[in-house]
Amino acid sequence: MTTPAPLLPSAHAKDGALYLDNAATSWPKPPGVAQAMSYFLDEVGANPGRSGHRMSIEAARIVYAAREAVAALFGAPDPLRVIFGLNITDGLNLALHGLLKPGDHVITSSMEHNAVMRPLNDLQQRGVVYTRVACQADGTLYPALVEQAIRPNTRLIVLNQASNVCGTLLPVREVGRIARQKGLLYLVDTAQSAGVIPVDLEKDSIDLLAFTGHKSLYGPMGTGGLVIGPRVDPSELFTLRQGGTGSRSEREVQPDFCPDRFESGTPNAVGLAGLLAALKWLQAQGVAQIQTHKEALCAALLEGLVNIPGVIVYGPRDASRQTATVGFNIQGVEPSEVGLRLDEEHNILCRVGLHCAPAAHQTLGTFPGGCVRFSLGTFNTLADVRQAVAAVRELAGEAK
Amino acid sequence: MSVEYAVILVDSTSHALHIEKLLGSRGLACKLIPVPRHLGSDCGVCVRILKQDVQTIQTLLSEQKIVFQSIEGL
């Protein structure tokens, strides 16, 4: 008798609610993630890298394995340059505040999240200047416009790889080529792309890669950070977080080597144990296979939504040019009302509003009203998509 | 005859784990232990290896461009 294959986790909660908010955080998590975290707490437990005993070394081994798994995913040559922090916002802040000095010029796009725009606007108060290159109404960016924005004092290009509002994929590789040719540093925000499409430090010419563990890497919240490429000298990157690292304890100055320079204090080792399990699962599945599955779901969702009278879908509306995140509105109905009725009447959970990205909404023409966002995960099915489309059709029909 | 050891002193636990993994993949015996007090004031760990492997490991580390502080006899 053969053992039946384990069932994939369902994207329906115990009360039946359908979860379509994976761009905020993925749910459910793959098999093994919760168990790895529970194992860490119950069996490993000790502080990684702080003591020389067996339990501490085992904890450090798990954190190091997570570092290696992140490096492997992004084609990073040195796992010690994978810096773990609170989340991707933390990684972006380290890159932007750590690198930029008064007089520096930065180029970014009009599809950025506030995780980039808020640090940039703060830095602007201190003498850093930025240019926001305008994207098209579907979020598309022309790389030539980025090249035209380069000035003699341009130091960095920072780009969001995929929009968190409407899924538009930005031309990361093409812009990377421009950055490399012009000798500029290149920071990429992979919040919505890591684990969704292949991202590679070398092939994409990325110098600083900010990542999150809890979205499409399928790990727990509180994991993420920054991968530092070989062209960046860590000693030139300032960090606000200084303190105990478990290394060079005789010295009262911050170490200059990675990852210790940027990782003071006890890390979220429990979360990283979960992230490691998630990355092993992701590697076994293959990003390409997940991409194929989600592209098919996205195509079905787009086809369903664009054919409903009174529904406006934002972004490329082409599953090959976007992630499985779809922004839309029902004419004449506030997004907040759509969200509430999807939750209460149709048992569908999604995000509505401005999604922490006012610039992107201005680009798409949805500011300040915002939009409704369905974001699919790898555990969603075609049946889930049909349920979502039927619910929107019903709400749009009632709105007439 | 008792086994003779040496230790590789490193910057951090992450560096020690990096080396542990490399040596393990080449079938070279090693163990992470606290840094002996007479070799450093650090609170971290170092990589204990067999004295007979020192030459091989030194060559391997330099080939692989692995950063370490020094190799000391015990």
pLDDT tens-place string over residues B54-64: 999 999 999 99
- From chain A, the residues in CB contact with B35 under 8 A are 52
Residues 6+ apart with CB under 8 A from A248: A255, A260, B11, B42
Give pLDDT, residue A1.
53
Give pLDDT, residue B39.
87
Q: Give the closest of B17, B34, B42 to A247, CB-based.
A: B42
| CA pair distance A376, B46, nearest whole angstrom | 46
- From chain A, the residues in CB contact with B66 under 8 A are none
pLDDT in tens, A255-289: 999 999 999 999 999 999 999 999 999 999 999 99
Q: Give the closest of A51, A61, A260 to B12, CB-based.
A: A260
Q: Let me know the angle formed at the C-alpha of A170 by A169 and A175, rounded to the nearest 5 degrees.
A: 150
Q: Do A257 and B67 touch (CB under 8 A)?
A: yes
Check if A247 contacts B (Cβ < 8 Å): yes
- Our CA-based measurement puts residue A82 at a distance from the nearest CA of chain B, in whole angstroms, of 11
Tokens of A365: 């023409």
- From chain A, the residues in CB contact with B37 under 8 A are none
| CA pair distance A379, A9, nearest whole angstrom | 7
Please count the other Cβ atoms lying within 10 Å of the Cβ belonging to residue A136: 14
Give pLDDT, residue A5.
57
Q: Do A260 and B11 touch (CB under 8 A)?
A: yes
Give pLDDT, residue B69.
92
3-state secondary structure of A179: helix
Q: Do B12 and A257 touch (CB under 8 A)?
A: yes
| CA pair distance B16, B26, nearest whole angstrom | 16
- From chain A, the residues in CB contact with B21 under 8 A are 64, 68
Tokens of A150: 């380069």
Q: Do B14 and A67 touch (CB under 8 A)?
A: yes
Check if A84 contacts B (Cβ < 8 Å): no
- Our CA-based measurement puts residue B37 at a distance from the nearest CA of chain A, in whole angstroms, of 12
Check if B43 contacts A (Cβ < 8 Å): yes
The residue of chain A nearest to residue B66, with distances taken between CA atoms, is A78
- Our CA-based measurement puts residue A282 at a distance from the nearest CA of chain B, in whole angstroms, of 22
Q: Do B18 and A64 touch (CB under 8 A)?
A: yes
Q: Give the closest of B11, B13, B33 to A60, CB-based.
A: B13
Q: Do A51 and B15 touch (CB under 8 A)?
A: no
Q: Do B14 and A80 touch (CB under 8 A)?
A: yes
Give pLDDT, residue B37.
85
Pick from B7, B13, B21, B47 the residue to mutate for testing the A interface (most A CBs within 10 Å).
Answer: B13
The DSSP 8-state label assigned to residue A41 in this structure reads: I
Q: Which residues in chain A show pLDDT less than 50?
A: none
- From chain B, the residues in CB contact with A49 under 8 A are 12-14, 44-45
Instruction: Classify each residue of A37-57 as buried b or exposed e, where b means 16 or more C-beta atoms within 10 Å of its C-beta.
Output: bebbeeebebebbbbbeeebb
Instruction: Find, among A33, A32, A35, the residue nearest to A6 by Cα.
Output: A32
Q: What's the one-letter identity of residue A315?
A: G
Check if A249 contacts B (Cβ < 8 Å): yes
Check if B33 contacts A (Cβ < 8 Å): yes
**ipTM of the modeled complex:** 0.86
Give pLDDT, residue B38.
87
Q: Give the closest of B14, B17, B42 to A249, CB-based.
A: B42
Q: Are B49 and B30 in contact (CB under 8 A)?
A: yes
- Our CA-based measurement puts residue A336 at a distance from the nearest CA of chain B, in whole angstroms, of 47
Q: Give the closest of A57, A67, A255 to B11, CB-based.
A: A255
pTM of the predicted structure, to 2 decimals: 0.95
